[in-house]
Amino acid sequence: MEVTWYGDTCLRLKGREGVVAADAYRSVVGPTGRGLTADIITYSHPDDTPPPVRPKGDRLNGHAAGFLRPTSLDPAFILDGPGEYEVHEVLINGVRTFRDDDKG
């Protein structure tokens, strides 16, 4: 397994079956993602950066459930909730955890 740190809490995990990017927020990796690619994206909490103003009729471009992903990750699957997932032969268990502003 290859692990690459992109800053803050953003990690890229590359294995034989696929690539997972964790917490790839635009505020960390920029709007284009600085070349960050992945098959799957996981988020530990919603992005605090407000979404940009979109032209009328424009698609969401990765802004789902409070996550605005970098353009380099547009084709990736967003894992943003609990459950069992299988994407590109990668098995993932999403676990809901508690988070608040005071204790993290």
Give the pLDDT score at 19. Answer: 93
Domain range holding 17? 2-94
Q: Is residue 84 part of a domain?
A: yes
Give the pLDDT score at 46. Answer: 67
Q: State how far the Cα of 64 lies from the Cα of 76, in Å rounded to an integer.
A: 12
Q: Is residue 78 part of a domain?
A: yes
Q: Which of 52, 45, 60 is nearest to 31 (CA)?
A: 52
> Does residue 36 or residue 3 have the better pLDDT?
3
Q: Is residue 102 part of a domain?
A: no
Give SS3 for 3.
strand
Please check the confidence at residue 104 and state whether its pLDDT lies above 90. no
Q: State how far the Cα of 41 lies from the Cα of 97, in Å rounded to an integer.
A: 17
Give the pLDDT score at 67. Answer: 63
Q: Is residue 47 part of a domain?
A: yes
CATH no. for residue 53? 3.60.15.10
> Does residue 32 or residue 54 have the better pLDDT?
32
Domain count, the chain: 1
